[in-house]
Amino acid sequence: MERLSAEILVIGSGAGGAMTAAVLAERGRDVVVLEEGPDLDTSLLDSHSPEAFRTLYRHGGMTPILGPRSIGFVEGRCLGGSTEINSGFWQRLPPDSYYRWAVDALVDELTPATMEPLFERVERLLSVSPWSGGPPPRSSDVLRRGAEELGWRCVEVPRCQKTGASASPFAPGAKQSMQRTLLPSARAHGARVVPDCRVTQLVPARGRVTHVLAVRRDGATERRFRIDAEHVFVCGGAIQTPALLRRSGIRRNVGDNLCIHPMLKAAAIFDEAMEATDNALPLYQVKEFSPNVTLGGSVFTPGFLAVSLAADWARHAPVMADWPRMALYYAAVRGMKRGRVRALPWLRDGVLVRYPLSLADRKNLTLGLARLCRVLFAGGARAVVPAVRGAPVLRSFAEAEAWLAAPLPAADMDLSTVHVFSTCPMGENPDLCATDSFGRVAGFENLRVGDASLIPDSPGVNPQATTMALALRNAEQFLAGGGAGRAASPGPRGVAVVGAGS
Amino acid sequence: MRELVRTLTPETPALAPDARAQVLEDVARFVQHEIAAMPSFLRAPYRVGLVAFDWLAALRFGRRFVALDGARRARWVGLWAEGRFAPLRDFVKPLRVCTLLQHFDHPVVRRALAAPRAG
């Protein structure tokens, strides 16, 4: 078995992993980053194309969250993780979350005063900024118009994007994902990044992870190797991180508290032409009902429009004739239940994710859809087609209101989510938390979590900003505190694999 | 799989026969890849479901799905996709979603969709 040694091992190269690696490498630490997915240049690929689904998404974008109604979930599986496939939304943690997390999870030293400077620092690194490409896309503007008409609060969501000119975050290379920001920074400071490398197990003994076992794909073959590291940061995301911990026998409060933002989409038809073939950027969100319900525009192409109609294709297929005047929107809610992540034994990709959609979730989704219909009709829609089996083509808000008088049946809703978190909650509450307030796994001196798993509950906003600010906070606390751990004795730098034979 | 994808692929927009053949080929390849990429604990039962879908058609039509004509194939898909039994609907759903995504975002179809607007 081949061997690799490092002072600090970071597992995962997404928002949390890249942030952790960049901070630690910049301070002169010997860092190795292992990424399960391939190292593909995402600036050359439309991140919402079928080709991207095939190459950048875990399970080709076909990961279900099981339950009374299965919920489609997508996450990146490539260098840079989900930051390579998302829309680059940036939203700071809402003030109410600080209070809740202090009371429920007993998180120490997490206040707006400590976090806001961290958000500002990360925002500078990722060029977080508002749209500067001229007039907003029509599909976004109708949402703003509708909210204005109703007097609802509507905000432009800033993005991680190149500033200036007319660069759309969807233009090739414009989105400031981890491939274009923190991973190059980590590498410039000596971090070694190893793609196509799947960690199979952490090997614990007497309160430490002594080493890590991994498999690296090399063309058609796979090579097993072992990594010896003084400190291990697991940053595989809110599904893969708890699965790896549980597979390694670390199970206390791990994978028991999954929170999600279930999302229900609807296609709207207007009199004016929309931009389905232009990769139009959704700019605005209606925040009048946040944090429990958020309304917004979705990425849409002719293919995405058709998929949204697939909930009842036999009934809704004729609507596709109107595709040039259609755009896609969503109602997302804070899920009220808690799901579970479990690693299935003997299956290399065996991760079972369950979320029991509750009556409260169904009510919020139904209410969210009704409000979405209201704002779209106020913005000029002449019809709305919800992604719901048996849904009529709604021609007015009155029709929508009548149809949505009772909670929609779970089995009829075509639900998806891109926000999952809280599977290794941080804090000092021993009944809830898997790590301390800074991500160190309970009972381990050298094992930390650094991704959205740490977020104690659903924040009601896109979690990338919070994940990155927490990763920065926790990496700095590691450096300032007991982070030095034992004296580092890293192997030779720039050599990816040392030793030979198996 | 090709016969099933062919049945699920919309007739619109109108394409020249060779262009349609190319699109169908690409859609079938994409759908096959997506099934192969499923989590293994779902992939195996799903493949069993595909075999069952094919053979159970014989109970209704006297022939396997792959041996049916286009109209009967469409009826058999409809029985599963629009029926009252949720697991059958859920079986067809991923195939339909992948087919629609790759079909309508295929460059050839995109060009055909854009043509009337340009004209």
| A211 labelled catalytic | no
Residues of A in contact with B93 (CB under 8 A): 310
Question: A310–B12: do the CB atoms touch at under 8 Å?
Answer: no
Class of domain A64-72+133-173+262-417: alpha beta
Show the beta-strand stretches assigned E in A387-441: 415-417, 420-421
B12, part of any domain = no
Range of the domain at B55: 2-6+22-113
Q: How far apart are the first and last CA of chain A?
A: 3
Supply the ipTM of this predicted assembly: 0.94
Percent of chain A exceeding pLDDT 70 equals 93
Q: For residue B5, give the H/E element and its range.
A: helix B2-8
Question: What is the predicted pLDDT for the residue at B50?
Answer: 95
Question: What is the predicted pLDDT for the residue at B115?
Answer: 76
The runs of H, that is alpha helices, within A319-438 are 359-378, 397-403
Higher local confidence (pLDDT), A333 or B114: A333
Cα A147 from chain centroid (whole Å): 27
How many angstroms separate the CA atoms of A230 and A192, rounded? 16
Question: What is the predicted pLDDT for the residue at A169?
Answer: 55
Q: How far apart are the first and last CA of chain B?
A: 36
In chain A, CATH 3.50.50.60 covers 1-39+78-88+91-125+177-256+421-502
Question: A321–B12: do the CB atoms touch at under 8 Å?
Answer: yes
Strand partners, B112: none
Percent of chain A exceeding pLDDT 90 equals 78
pLDDT in tens, B77-88: 999 999 888 889
Query: Does A501 have pLDDT greater than 70?
Result: no
Question: What is the predicted pLDDT for the residue at B47?
Answer: 94
Residue A344 has its nearest CB partner, among B41, B101, B104, at B41
B68, part of any domain = yes
What value does the mean pLDDT of chain A take?
90
Chain A / chain B CB contacts < 8 angstroms:
89
Neighbours of A396 (CB within 10 A): 14
Among A43-52, A295-304, A374-383, the minimum mean pLDDT is found in: A43-52
B15, part of any domain = no
Q: For residue A386, give the H/E element and its range.
A: strand A383-386
Q: Which two tokens stand for residue A80?
A: 């840079």
Q: Which two tokens stand for residue A438?
A: 């800074």
Q: What is the DSSP-derived secondary structure letter of residue A280?
A: P
pLDDT in tens, B20-58: 999 999 999 999 999 999 998 899 999 999 999 999 999
pLDDT in tens, A169-207: 566 667 899 999 999 999 999 999 999 999 999 999 999
Question: Which of the four pLDDT bands, split at 50, 70 and 90, describes residue B119?
Answer: very low
Higher local confidence (pLDDT), A49 or A275: A49
- 3-state helix/strand/coil string of A110-162: CCHHHHHHHHHHHHHHCCEECCCCCCCCHHHHHHHHHHHHHCCCEEECCEEEC
- Does the CA dihedral A176-A177-A182-A188 come out positive or negative? negative
How many angstroms separate the CA atoms of A39 and A78, rounded? 6
pLDDT in tens, A222-253: 999 999 999 999 999 999 999 999 999 999 99
pLDDT in tens, A346-385: 777 789 999 999 999 999 999 999 999 999 999 999 999 9
**Average pLDDT rounded to a whole number, residues A5-12:** 96
The residue in chain B having the minimum alpha-carbon distance to the alpha carbon of residue A349 is B39
Residue B101 has its nearest CB partner, among A59, A70, A303, at A303
Amino acid at A248: S
B17, part of any domain = no
B13, part of any domain = no
Question: Which of the four pLDDT bands, split at 50, 70 and 90, describes residue A489?
Answer: very low
- What is the pTM assigned to this prediction? 0.92
The residue in chain B having the minimum alpha-carbon distance to the alpha carbon of residue A319 is B12
Question: What is the predicted pLDDT for the residue at A480?
Answer: 92
Query: Does A482 have pLDDT greater than 80?
Result: no
Question: What is the predicted pLDDT for the residue at A484?
Answer: 46
Neighbours of A329 (CB within 10 A): 31
| B72 touches A: beta carbon within 8 Å | no
In chain A, CATH 3.30.410 covers 64-72+133-173+262-417
Residue A63 has its nearest CB partner, among B30, B39, B86, at B39
Query: Does A164 have pLDDT greater than 70?
Result: no
- Cα separations (Å) of B39 from A64, A65, A92, A233? 9, 11, 33, 25
Question: B100–A307: do the CB atoms touch at under 8 Å?
Answer: yes
Question: A302–B37: do the CB atoms touch at under 8 Å?
Answer: no
Contact of A242 with A453, CB cutoff 8 Å = yes
Question: Which of the four pLDDT bands, split at 50, 70 and 90, describes residue B69?
Answer: very high
pLDDT in tens, A81-138: 999 998 889 999 999 999 999 999 999 999 999 999 999 999 999 999 888 777 888 9
Residue A49 has its nearest CB partner, among B12, B41, B105, at B105
How many angstroms separate the CA atoms of A384 and A119, rounded? 37
CA-only gyration radius of chain A, Å: 22
B90, part of any domain = yes
Question: What is the predicted pLDDT for the residue at A487?
Answer: 35
One of A48, A211, A261, A419 is an active-site residue; which one?
A419
Question: A347–B41: do the CB atoms touch at under 8 Å?
Answer: yes
Q: Which two tokens stand for residue A70?
A: 């299965």
Amino acid at A358: S
Give the closest residue to A41 by CA, choosing from A84, A83, A2: A84
pLDDT winner (highest mean) among A198-212, A338-352, B105-119: A198-212
**Average pLDDT rounded to a whole number, residues A472-497:** 60
Question: What is the predicted pLDDT for the residue at A494?
Answer: 33
Question: B110–A348: do the CB atoms touch at under 8 Å?
Answer: no
Burial B61-80 (b: 16+ CB within 10 A, else e): beeebeebeeebbeebbeeb
Q: Which residues contact A484 (CB under 8 A, 6 or more apart)?
A: none
Residues of B in contact with A61 (CB under 8 A): 34
Q: Which two tokens stand for residue A267?
A: 């296609």
Q: Which two tokens stand for residue B47?
A: 């493949």
In CATH terms, the superfamily for domain A1-39+78-88+91-125+177-256+421-502 is FAD/NAD(P)-binding domain (3.50.50.60)
Number of domains composing chain B: 1
